[in-house]
């Protein structure tokens, strides 16, 4: 068991149900990168609290990432300001280990957005 994290691209669909179809293409995978997960959870809570939505756990929750989200993520990675995040299954800080992969993910995610796809983050622990 542990924190498994995924990013994937999906074609723009006419309905929400179409996003759940198996037409997603994985563009990144991380194993136990807790601070990135914490950053994603904060983003999800910020976006959803604005609409009055809450969830007890950020686990198995799909988060759509925008160009602006990716720009902020890139800045936070480069400035080493991802939030310190702990959890029983999360592992230890792995910012340095995943630094290059994180930046490659952002570049690929931007490419997918430019091509007209949507980009999502999800996790399981």
Tens digit of pLDDT at every position of the chain (125 positions): 688 999 999 998 756 665 555 678 999 999 989 899 999 999 999 988 755 666 667 888 899 999 999 999 999 999 999 988 777 667 788 788 899 999 999 999 999 999 999 999 999 88
34-49 and 95-114 are packed helices; what angle lies between their axes, rounded to 10 degrees?
50
Residue 46: Cβ within 10 Å count? 9
| Span 63-79, pLDDT tens digits | 999 999 999 999 999 99
Token pair belonging to 105 = 């993910």
């Amino acid at each position: 068991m542990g924190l498994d994290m995924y990013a994937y691209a999906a074609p723009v669909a006419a309905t929400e149900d179409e996003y759940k179809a198996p037409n997603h293409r994985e563009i990144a995978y991380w194993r136990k990168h807790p601070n990135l997960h914490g950053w994603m959870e904060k983003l999800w809570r910020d976006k959803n609290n604005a609409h009055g939505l809450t969830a007890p756990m950020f686990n198995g929750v799909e988060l759509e990432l925008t160009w602006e989200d990716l720009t902020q993520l890139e800045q936070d990675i480069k400035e080493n300001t991802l939030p310190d995040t702990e959890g029983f299954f999360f592992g230890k800080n792995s910012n340095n280990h995943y630094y290059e992969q994180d930046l490659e993910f952002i570049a690929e995610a931007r490419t997918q957005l430019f091509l007209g796809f949507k980009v999502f983050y999800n996790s399981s622990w």
